[in-house]
């Protein structure tokens, strides 16, 4: 490889807003045949809004929103931002909680006004905290998920107190980007920690058939490894801390510059703007740069 050609490639890359870590990163783009895409913040805008709030038992809506937001204040996750923004719009002050702990791919815990507050997936509240949702709340949640909402259970003092649903929107250019990636011979796969209903709705909107939903961060890594074991050469695009292990394991890791530092550090290429169409450009540019070198 002549260093000049590589410099041309990376120089043009920086004009497009693509940061390439090194020559090895470009090498992988020639043989990549599969592109695994994280959903939240990658295919979707990642700017979520609260769609509904419902209480369980004696909790009031005001109490539920206030405590959930205080617990979520320490989290960078899009669902957390949605809850905090919503609470502020409702006039809550939202002060930092104590003993905050984030559980990647699941939810958060924190102590608010002396109460241990949990906000996260209903499945996680059940499996890790033995907090089960009453049947009617569960039924409503399944319905909300089927129509593309993400459901957050809110619990304190060991009981489910309510449910907050949030919604995200697909980025305007995602469908076009998936088409372009296909034209480059890449098979798209959607990978998300979110529920099956949301995953199916997003996949249908952008034209992806292969879906892995309700996947933990470790599970994301397993999906990459399984694809590689079946002979695929895999690119992974992601933005979250929960994507880091998968990004590092992929043959080509591509981070959204709009995402977390952890995702960027784990990747070979960063697309500064977070535009998926630029991801396709990055693959094309790298291949062309390689052709120049040969
Ligand atoms: P994705 O793969 O779509 O980026 P994550 O793996 O980050 O999603 O999260 C999976 C699920 O875990 C979310 O859809 C949400 O239900 C739950 N979750 C993650 N972080 C939080 C949080 N800070 N608060 C509440 N729930 C969370
Ligand atoms: Mg994400």
Closest residue CA from atom 17 of ligand 1: 106
Which residue matches tokens 């906000």? Answer: 119
ipTM: 0.95
Please tell me the number of the ligand nearest to residue 274's CA. Answer: 2
Q: Which residue has the higher pLDDT, 194 or 108?
A: 108
Looking at 152, 167, 182, the residue that finishes a domain is 167
Q: Which residue has the higher pLDDT, 14 or 218?
A: 218
| CATH code, domain with 175 | 3.40.50.1000
- The predicted structure's pLDDT at residue 45: 92
Ligand 1 atom closest to 106 (CA): 12
Determine if ligand 1 sits within 6 Å of the CB of residue 40.
yes
Q: Is the pLDDT of residue 8 over 60?
A: no
The verdict on 282 and 141 lying in the same domain is no
- The predicted structure's pLDDT at residue 7: 41
Residue 104 alpha carbon to ligand 1 centre in Å: 7
The verdict on 176 and 288 lying in the same domain is yes
269 is in which domain, residue-wise?
3-45+170-293
- The predicted structure's pLDDT at residue 251: 94
Mean pLDDT of 124-139: 95
| CATH code, domain with 66 | 3.40.1110.10
Task: Classify burial at 46, counting beta carbons within 10 Å of its beta carbon; exposed 0-12, middle 13-18, buried 19 or more.
Answer: buried
What average pLDDT does the chain have?
A: 91
d(CA 4, CA 1): 9
Determine if ligand 1 sits within 6 Å of the CB of residue 120.
yes
Residue 149 alpha carbon to ligand 2 centre in Å: 16
Residue 241 alpha carbon to ligand 2 centre in Å: 8
- The predicted structure's pLDDT at residue 85: 98
Q: Which residue has the higher pLDDT, 29 or 37?
A: 37
Among the residue ranges 74-78, 160-164, 193-197, 290-294, the one predicted with the least confidence is 290-294
Q: Is the pLDDT of residue 9 over 90?
A: no
d(CA 150, CA 262): 24
Task: Classify burial at 3, counting beta carbons within 10 Å of its beta carbon; exposed 0-12, middle 13-18, buried 19 or more.
Answer: exposed
Among 38, 239, 275, 281, the active-site one is: 38
The verdict on 98 and 206 lying in the same domain is no
Q: Is the pLDDT of residue 204 over 90?
A: yes
The verdict on 16 and 161 lying in the same domain is no
Number of domains the chain is built from? 2
SS3 percent helix, strand, coil of the chain, rounded to 5, is 45, 25, 30
Determine if ligand 1 sits within 6 Å of the CB of residue 276.
no
The verdict on 153 and 136 lying in the same domain is yes
d(CA 122, CA 101): 17
The verdict on 60 and 116 lying in the same domain is yes
Q: How confident is the model at residue 74 (pLDDT cuts 50, 70, 90)?
A: very high
The verdict on 193 and 237 lying in the same domain is yes
d(CA 264, CA 47): 19
Which residue matches tokens 């199916």? Answer: 200
């Amino acid at each position: 490889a002549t260093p000049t050609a590589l410099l041309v490639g990376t120089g043009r890359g920086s004009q497009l807003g693509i940061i390439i870590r090194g020559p090895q990163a470009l090498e992988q783009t020639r043989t990549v045949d599969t592109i695994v895409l994280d959903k939240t913040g990658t295919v979707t805008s990642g700017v979520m809004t609260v769609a509904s709030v419902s209480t369980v038992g004696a909790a009031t809506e005001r109490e539920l929103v206030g405590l959930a937001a205080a617990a979520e204040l320490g989290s960078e996750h899009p669902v957390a931002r949605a809850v905090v923004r919503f609470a502020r719009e409702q006039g809550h002050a939202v002060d930092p909680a104590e003993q905050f702990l984030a559980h990647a791919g699941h939810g958060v815990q924190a102590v608010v006004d002396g109460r241990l507050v949990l906000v996260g997936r209903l499945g996680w509240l059940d499996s890790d905290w033995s907090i089960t949702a009453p049947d009617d709340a569960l039924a409503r949640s399944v319905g909300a998920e089927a129509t593309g909402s993400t459901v957050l259970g809110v619990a304190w003092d060991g009981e489910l107190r309510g449910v907050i649903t949030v919604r995200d929107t697909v980025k305007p250019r995602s469908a076009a980007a998936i088409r372009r990636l296909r034209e480059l011979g890449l098979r798209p796969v959607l990978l998300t920690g979110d529920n099956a209903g949301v995953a199916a709705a997003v996949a249908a909107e952008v034209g992806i058939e292969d879906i892995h939903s309700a996947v933990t961060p470790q599970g994301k890594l397993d999906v990459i490894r399984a694809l590689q074991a079946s002979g695929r050469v895999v690119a992974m695009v992601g933005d979250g801390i929960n994507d880091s292990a998968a990004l590092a394991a992929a043959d080509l890791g591509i981070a959204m510059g709009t995402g977390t530092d952890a995702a960027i550090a784990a990747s070979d290429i960063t697309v500064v703007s977070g535009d998926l169409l630029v991801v396709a450009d990055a693959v094309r540019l790298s291949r062309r740069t390689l052709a120049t070198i040969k």
